[in-house]
Structure 1
């Protein structure tokens, strides 16, 4: 039990955030979730989480939200595929981090972990990506650029203000959802076992890094406990080709589907048409040409710093996939 230790978290209604809150509560922490929409956070309140409404643009409201908290996990971000104005990403991800760290400092928060993104490091063009390897290519989209700007904000507070702030950068996270509809890798898994996913984008040979959400939660907790201020820890898992990923998924689920490879030219054409129709309907597109280009690279990542310095223990990929598949199947019945 952690007694009277009070922990604040932004982004607690998200996929990783909800799992992290569950782990903190199970460990005996008192958790205060800073949220924009209290209606969406009612499930957290049912868990015994204290809710505090504040926008990332409101420094004073954030300061009030963090008052009395010893630790803070800053996970809130704009991670949508498309925004009407690219400034939105920077306002939320970079300026929002600035406001959050200012408020944490004034409120007397002792330690902070900020969730970045493995995408900031870029694809593995000239070798496996690590925290020490410079990025090979320009940023693919405003999201990546804004998260990189957020990382620089963190370093400024560490160097200039002497704050104890640690960065963590998850890769392609998957696992069971505690509520809501899954997204990204988890959604792909769900649709595959429903028989509704037959697509391999780009080719079977493209590699990505896939990590269990529980390993990511473990990485956050250990970064708070052991992480060095100003250091960035890649919360990475297993490097797999699409072919290896879907072969393992077929083995675990007992469902082997005929997969179709979509070449980049076809993906780009679909993305253009899809985005155009979405904008005409006043909706956000689920895919853009920037994200298609991003996906047609290898994204091999080394998890060694988080393993060696934080003591993160990776779950075998097949075990993680089996737990995810079982969770989705159980919700269908």
Structure 2
């Protein structure tokens, strides 16, 4: 069996490509840079130089593929224009689905995000039935929602496509911009002091990377065309999450809270100063708000329909802490 994986140098796509290759799939990996150090290496993985924004390169990579896993996305919330978000997340998705239609691909699994649902209602986890009640907080959310509309259009045209909506992913794997949970774990492991905004009661859902990769394969087997499945783990507020990480790692870090509005205003000021000198900052007010938005969620639909299984948060954190400790020890 031949499969196309987009985003194979990303956090989820990298792990997924290796998992598929280990299961004897011939994996076509669409890559912008054939010299990237993040390319998954395996005898069953064949690199194709290209870009989902360029239809002809997608068409070449998808030739004779039975299935497609579309995980590529532009996620950098520091970027202030919509063009890269739109081209990658919307146009790129349309290119993948159009090529899938023309090549008679049997099934497509599209990796979206929980953030398309918007914030969770008070004390009510997000489910697939929740309508979005607030405006889009950033261009990433907007364009990922637009890409889901593209999926719906191509399902009507006959493409068998299932949508997965992962929550906040963590666990062993590549260090990428979008993997903020691992970054927090690393700071608690190695820093002596951590200053955090004073919203530690904000609750979100955290999913172990292995569960997401397994969900991709389960969606291929059990997913229904046009259906959306939330792929998550346990819900936790920051206070509980930090406590788990500290206890498991035996970290002695001191965590101090700073007024949220003060933090946000300082970040805005730093960004304005950096912008004047043509520089960027790791955090923006938009990124901060996205991190401190309630996003508790339920994966019951995936559990009952896909046979999805959830790794307990403490178990996943222990494996992640062990991995990050070794990773940092070896540079």
2:247 paired with 1:251: yes
Kept in 2: contact 1:9–1:32 (CA 8 A): yes
Match of 2:84 in 1: 88
Task: Kindly state the Cα deviation for residue 165 of structure 1 after the two structures are TM-superposed.
Answer: 0.3
Which one of 43, 65, 68 corresponds to residue 69 of structure 1? Answer: 65
4+ aligned runs moved over 6 Å, structure 1: 179-182
Match of 2:25 in 1: 29
Match of 2:130 in 1: 133
Kept in 1: contact 2:78–2:287 (CA 8 A): no
Runs of 5+ unmatched residues, structure 1: none
Kept in 2: contact 1:203–1:262 (CA 8 A): no
Task: Kindly state the Cα deviation for residue 105 of structure 1 after the two structures are TM-superposed.
Answer: 1.2
Which one of 170, 187, 192 corresponds to residue 191 of structure 1? Answer: 187
Match of 2:143 in 1: 146
Matches within 5 A, 1:1-333: 5-40=1-36, 43-45=39-41, 48-126=44-122, 127-159=124-156, 161-178=157-174, 183-195=179-191, 198-333=194-329
| Distance in 1 between residues matched to 2:279 and 2:13, nearest whole Å | 26
| Distance in 1 between residues matched to 2:306 and 2:93, nearest whole Å | 23
Question: Structure 1 residues 145, 61: closer, same or farther in 2, change over 3 A?
Answer: same
For 1:97-122, what per-residue CA distance to the aligned partner results, in whole angstroms no more than 9, with x for missing partners?
A: 01111011112211101110111111
Runs of 5+ unmatched residues, structure 2: none
Task: Kindly state the Cα deviation for residue 256 of structure 1 after the two structures are TM-superposed.
Answer: 3.5
For 1:249-302, what per-residue CA distance to the aligned partner results, in whole angstroms no more than 9, with x for missing partners?
A: 011101132211232212211221232244344344322222323333321111
Task: Kindly state the Cα deviation for residue 201 of structure 1 after the two structures are TM-superposed.
Answer: 3.0
CA RMSD across the alignment: 1.8
Task: Kindly state the Cα deviation for residue 242 of structure 1 after the two structures are TM-superposed.
Answer: 0.6
Task: Kindly state the Cα deviation for residue 179 of structure 1 after the two structures are TM-superposed.
Answer: 6.3
Secondary structure at 2:93's aligned position in 1?
A: helix
| Distance in 1 between residues matched to 2:307 and 2:56, nearest whole Å | 36
| Distance in 2 between residues matched to 1:181 and 1:169, nearest whole Å | 18
- How many residues are treated as equivalent by the alignment? 328
Question: Structure 1 residues 258, 41: closer, same or farther in 2, change over 3 A?
Answer: closer
Kept in 2: contact 1:175–1:212 (CA 8 A): yes
Kept in 2: contact 1:168–1:234 (CA 8 A): yes
**Which segment is superposed worse, 69-78 or 36-45?**
36-45
Query: TM-score with structure 2 length normalisation?
Result: 0.94
